[in-house]
């Protein structure tokens, strides 16, 4: 399952949203908070060394966060193997904040 990236848009920064993400349980293993906000690398087209917007974050524990970054076959395949669509979850989490 290849997940398409979203065309480049204004990079959203929101410390309030990141704080909310940190207070959630891990999306992968359900470990209790404090979670790391993981920026979904393929969610937006971005320049070298530039993170995607904070609206494209999901909560993951420190161990799972490390697993994502160490998985040698790419982040999209990592999420597919977990059976999780992180982009849908990120939209859901960010949408709750804006409503």
Per-residue tens of pLDDT for the chain, all 99 residues: 555 554 545 789 999 999 999 999 999 999 999 999 999 999 987 666 678 999 999 999 999 999 999 999 999 999 999 999 999 999 999 987 654
**What residues does 57 pair with on adjacent strands?**
39
Tell me which residue of 43, 60, 32 sits closest to 7, measured CA to CA: 43
- pLDDT for 80 equals 96
pTM: 0.83
| Cβ within 8 Å of residue 77, ≥6 positions away | 71
């Amino acid at each position: 399952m290849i997940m398409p990236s979203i065309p480049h848009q204004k990079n959203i920064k929101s410390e309030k949203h990141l704080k909310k993400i940190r207070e959630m349980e891990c999306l992968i293993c359900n470990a209790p908070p404090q979670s790391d906000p993981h920026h979904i690398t393929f969610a937006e087209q971005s320049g070298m060394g530039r993170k995607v917007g904070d609206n494209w974050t999901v909560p993951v524990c420190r161990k799972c966060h490390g697993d994502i970054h160490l998985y040698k076959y790419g982040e999209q395949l990592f999420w597919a193997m977990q059976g999780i669509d992180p982009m849908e979850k990120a939209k859901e989490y960010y949408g709750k904040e804006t409503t």
